[in-house]
Amino acid sequence: MTGLVYGLSSALGLVSQSLVNHHREVFSFAIKIADAFPIPEHDKGQICVAALLHDIGVVAFNGAITPETNDAELNDHAELGYRLLRDFHPFSPAARMIRHHHKSALQLEEEEPDEPIRLGAGIVHLADAISQRLDPSHCLLNQCQQLCEWAATIPAGVFSPEVVEAFLQQSSKEYFWFDARFATVSQLGGASALSGASVTLDLDGLRELSAVFGRIIDYRSRHTAAHSRSVAEVAAALAQKAGFSDCDCSRMQVAGNLHDLGKLALPVSILDKPGALAPDERNLVKSHPYHTYRILKEIPGLGEIPAWAALHHEVADGTGYPFHLKGDEIPLGSRIVAVADGFAALSEHRPYRLGMERQPCLELLETSAKAGKLDASLVALVAENYDELNELTHSALSKGQQEYQKILKEALYWPRLTAGAKRTGAQP
């Protein structure tokens, strides 16, 4: 479970290396500050998750945090991050910490009744503020004195005095700073008291968490705001018809939710581009299943899920990408995701065309199967069960679109998405 959060957090680095460095730094500082408090392992585990994922609202909604970002905008991304994670129950305390990670100690007192959440949010807030103030081009140890002076003189209502005290105490050890710069996320997790503080996830939990990440992938483009969800549903239904066990059908949903994880590496201009891509853009797109594979392979305990998810652009004749696998080298699970991906993509509305109806959709899939590009027996299964699969796709798409609109509306607005728009006034 800890490995899963580390892996998914590192996937955010595909969007921006500076963001992944920032998450790692905040994680490194936060766990050491948290270690100074006598708090239960479970609460420490939640602080760990909050620190590693605190800016997911920025990724999902294509924002950027700069020195010019004002307080209202900071709280918007915190609110979006909270709304992305809150329904995933094992992380709901972490989601509340994320919601408050830019709030002052005074605001926290007023808005958050639970002390463990206030403490976690306050720790992530201070860790974040330290990370924001570091100059990445200079040795961190040379900057620590200045940062400690800044923290010691900050008014009491901004950060809680106990959290500042814990920071001053922990930051006198040189490794506090070296770790933030040089240690990997798994080294940091393994070396801290948090190594035993992870949350255990069963297969249902894994499926729900993969759905959260599916949303983060999909929300980056309004045109594909439910693609991963739709692929997950269709892939699981096809797997069931192909004779997979219930457990493997659940795993197939995880693979469907995460199959485009590597698309986090693609700029939104490519995701949103109407019509054909230029050759250099196509080359960038070709990297996405590679990234999916590399990231998921690092996460222990996922079994065949990385292969099922990532090999969805491999083709039996060896002309697929990125590994050019042939025939039986491509597992049946990957071929299922490929067919589900093709079916969902054809059925979805895109900026340059409406979703296809039955006949043209099946004709295109069958042409691809005849040309050896898709598994013919799976395409035949799609044809036999078209109505059921079409219904699954449409319901996944409409649910996904509704959730996407709701989350945006409820979390006020995101200025970079709706440039020039006025605040709607809607309150959470």
Interface with Fe ion (CB under 5 A): 55, 128, 260
- Pick the closer one to Fe ion by CB: 201 or 219: 219
Report how far residue 95's alpha carbon sits from residue 84's, in angstroms, rounded to the nearest whole number.
Answer: 8
- Pick the closer one to Fe ion by CB: 21 or 195: 21
Report how far residue 95's alpha carbon sits from residue 85's, in angstroms, rounded to the nearest whole number.
Answer: 5
For residue 146, give both structure tokens. Answer: 């200045």
- Looking at the DSSP bridge assignments, the partners of residue 350 are 353
DSSP output for 45-97: HHHHHHHHHTTHHHHHTT----TT--HHHHHHHHHHHHHHHTTSGGGHHHHHH
Give the nearest residue (CB) to Fe ion.
128
- Pick the closer one to Fe ion by CB: 76 or 179: 76
- Pick the closer one to Fe ion by CB: 90 or 320: 320
Residue 295 DSSP one-character state: H
Minimum CB distance to Fe ion, residue 150 (Å): 17
- Pick the closer one to Fe ion by CB: 79 or 128: 128
Query: For the CA atoms of 171, 148, 70, 5, what is the dihedral angle to 10 degrees?
Result: 0
Report how far residue 251's alpha carbon sits from residue 230's, in angstroms, rounded to the nearest whole number.
Answer: 15
For residue 66, give both structure tokens. Answer: 């700069």
Q: Dihedral sign, CA of 329, 334, 339, 345? A: negative
Minimum CB distance to Fe ion, residue 318 (Å): 18
Minimum CB distance to Fe ion, residue 393 (Å): 16
Report how far residue 270's alpha carbon sits from residue 243's, in angstroms, rounded to the nearest whole number.
Answer: 37
Minimum CB distance to Fe ion, residue 102 (Å): 6
- The single-letter code of the amino acid at 139 is C
Report how far residue 136's alpha carbon sits from residue 143's, in angstroms, rounded to the nearest whole number.
Answer: 10
- Pick the closer one to Fe ion by CB: 287 or 395: 287
- Pick the closer one to Fe ion by CB: 46 or 201: 46
Contact criterion met (CB below 8 Å) for 48 and 20: no
Block residue for tokens 């830019």: 102
- The single-letter code of the amino acid at 106 is L
- Pick the closer one to Fe ion by CB: 112 or 128: 128
Region for 62 from its dihedrals, namely left if φ exceeds 0, alpha if ψ lies in -120 to 50, beta otherwise: left
Report how far residue 227's alpha carbon sits from residue 337's, in angstroms, rounded to the nearest whole number.
Answer: 12
Minimum CB distance to Fe ion, residue 26 (Å): 6
Report residue 81 CA to chain centroid gap: 10
- Pick the closer one to Fe ion by CB: 55 or 248: 55
Minimum CB distance to Fe ion, residue 8 (Å): 17
Minimum CB distance to Fe ion, residue 74 (Å): 6
- Pick the closer one to Fe ion by CB: 201 or 254: 254
Minimum CB distance to Fe ion, residue 202 (Å): 28
SS3 248: helix
Minimum CB distance to Fe ion, residue 108 (Å): 15
SS3 353: strand
Helices 358-370 & 376-384, crossing angle to 10 degrees?
160
Minimum CB distance to Fe ion, residue 405 (Å): 23
Minimum CB distance to Fe ion, residue 40 (Å): 25
For residue 36, give both structure tokens. Answer: 């100074």
- Pick the closer one to Fe ion by CB: 55 or 112: 55
Block residue for tokens 């297969």: 203
